[in-house]
Chains A and B, each alone.
Chain A
């Protein structure tokens, strides 16, 4: 806001630093993308029994697993950004779409014996259709009302599914296990993450995107200017739901077991929001950066057992520190106008506190 007045053209040194950062970033992306092939694929090609491959292979597998999880959260955060960051609607229940996508794949592969390849495309379709359906009443709500109504959606959908025996009831669903598919799942998740960023990029450049931003800044004004606010909001919601549902569908086959607790976790709602905010809500790469940094941190902290309790406490504290000190996200913090200084924190604090 006020910082915009201070922004200047980047200096020559600044441009060089930026180019360097870009190169490092691209190299890192390339390494991350190729790694799964070298780590697990040789064993898969030889069709070796994972049990006999020993500790090194187990470590390689866990690295791929970490990468896959991070890619999944990149997609979730980028998808949330469409409705929460661009449109400014505080969606607190996107996990409903994740769970619906997962249950679509789980139900079709386990109960209907459809192949994963045929079931997966239906996951985003189902999630988006559901988002359109509940979006019509819910997106008429503003502020807290929308936030809690979506939070309730996430909880209620999981509960309803758990109570229906056709969807496995309390036992859950078991999609048939795909052996030696670690690399496949990583590339699927990474493709979905890339898709989410691509969609965001396209939206940001389109009439649709400008309409969403107009809604975020002032919904009445946008409406007066001829933006069909209902259609735009439901569209953004459904788009976010489709990407989230796709991630859920991949997750279902990847974990080969799903139940209410594993695919409707309430904390995912807040994790994806925190990632987007931490990185910079409404920006293209903010949610990506936030998801990579935060999920990596969470996975590094949580070794299981009591340490996962400390990880959760750490997450809660991080949440508090983020909203108090860097409410506009790290991208705003490092990028462009503002400088790394105590003054930044003090200004953020003064703007919002009483």
Chain B
């Protein structure tokens, strides 16, 4: 029984990581209609930023998160304004190819600068956890879950309570009408992508404390972010939160409870969830029917 509780807790915490990774992905997809295949690489930029600040300046990894967000905000703004805006009206296929190209360039730049070595961010509290009876709650993962939920709250606030958020939503709803009321499309597109990239940066900073950092460390997260968004439903922050937490639970439970499945099956599990949801409930659990 306590083993199951332990796994449920671990699943929720893993879900927290997925929420952090998927928030920005969902925003960019929902507003810009871009499935950003470079999202995983942007997460890795956040990982390396935290690693750099931690090893060279001795900053605590959690204190580097705002820096990660700021760096990726700028990178994201420049990418969208300079490159992706050029194909935004093309068939979706071209934005997929373009973001894949950006992904390829980023990964190989990491390889060039950091080599293929695995790096890690290990703090004094890395292995510590809270013991409740026979159940252990690792501090870092608990903090990651908390920060992921805060991040979701912040994006929700930005989208639903500020003028900028309304402008972004207006562009997502009808870009021509938005332009007619005086919204600068190029700027709002770039801003939306920048916010999405900043979220990826925070996710990368969180992940650097949890897993090894390497040029391709972000690759699985692009597919997983996609599954989370499909599972929850597109277009609402709350749906992404539900989707992320649920997906974390599914993955941990499937790997621990289903005989024959283990750590090597995470992509296959993600894919199975994806196909099931797409076939049974294409709009996602919380999504409105299209």
Contacts and interface: CB of A to CB of B under 8 A. Distances in A.
A352 B93 CA distance: 12
Interface residues of B, number: 49
Interface string A315-354: 1111110111001000000000000000000000101111
A315 B267 contact: no
Given A309-B111, A315-B104, A316-B102, A149 B274 contact: yes
Most buried by A among B87, B189, B219: B87
Most buried by B among A92, A147, A149, A320: A320
B88 interface: yes
Given A312-B108, A349-B86, A354-B189, A320 B98 contact: yes
B134 to A, nearest CB: 31
Nearest to B97: A323
Interface in A290-322: 306, 309-310, 312-313, 315-320, 322
B170 to A, nearest CB: 15
A7 to B, nearest CB: 23
B108 A155 contact: no
A352 B94 contact: yes
B271 A156 contact: yes
A144 B92 contact: yes
A152 B87 contact: no
A151 B270 CA distance: 12
Given A153-B271, A163-B265, A145 B278 contact: yes
B254 interface: no
Nearest to B190: A354
Chain B, interface SS category: helix
B165 interface: no
Given A317-B105, A324-B87, A351-B89, A155 B98 contact: no
A354 B83 CA distance: 11
B101 interface: yes
Nearest to B32: A354
A257 B175 CA distance: 52
B254 to A, nearest CB: 13
Contacts of B112: 306, 309, 313
A118 interface: no
A316 B104 contact: yes
A274 interface: yes
Contacts of B63: none
Contacts of B57: none
A352 B264 contact: no
Nearest to A318: B101
A260 to B, nearest CB: 10
B92 A320 contact: no
B100 A270 contact: yes
A313 B89 contact: no
Interface string B247-276: 000000000000000101101101110110
B264 A162 contact: yes
Contacts of B111: 309
A320 B101 contact: yes
Contacts of A266: 219
A187 B53 CA distance: 55
A353 B86 contact: yes
- The size bracket of the interface on A is 35 or more
Nearest to A351: B89
B29 interface: yes
A353 B89 contact: yes
A220 B274 CA distance: 25
Given A145-B282, A324-B87, A352-B87, A319 B98 contact: yes
Contacts of A92: 96
Interface in A141-174: 141, 143-145, 147-149, 151-153, 155-156, 159-160, 162-163
A213 B116 CA distance: 44
A155 B102 contact: no
B238 interface: no
B96 A147 contact: yes
A147 B267 CA distance: 16
A324 B282 contact: no
A152 B230 CA distance: 13
B97 A277 contact: yes
Given A152-B275, A316-B103, A322-B97, 10 more contacts: A90-B92, A152-B267, A152-B271, A156-B267, A156-B268, A267-B104, A313-B105, A317-B105, A323-B97, A351-B90
11 contacts: A134-B275, A153-B271, A155-B267, A156-B267, A277-B97, A316-B103, A316-B104, A320-B98, A324-B98, A352-B88, A354-B189
Interface of A: 90, 92, 134, 137-138, 140-141, 143-145, 147-149, 151-153, 155-156, 159-160, 162-163, 266-267, 270, 273-274, 277, 306, 309-310, 312-313, 315-320, 322-324, 327, 349, 351-354
Interface of B: 29, 33, 35, 83, 85-90, 92-94, 96-98, 100-105, 107-109, 111-112, 175, 185-186, 189, 219, 223, 226-227, 230, 262, 264-265, 267-268, 270-272, 274-275, 278-279, 282
The 6 lowest CB-CB distance pairs between A and B, nearest first, are: A319-B101, A316-B104, A156-B271, A316-B105, A352-B90, A152-B271
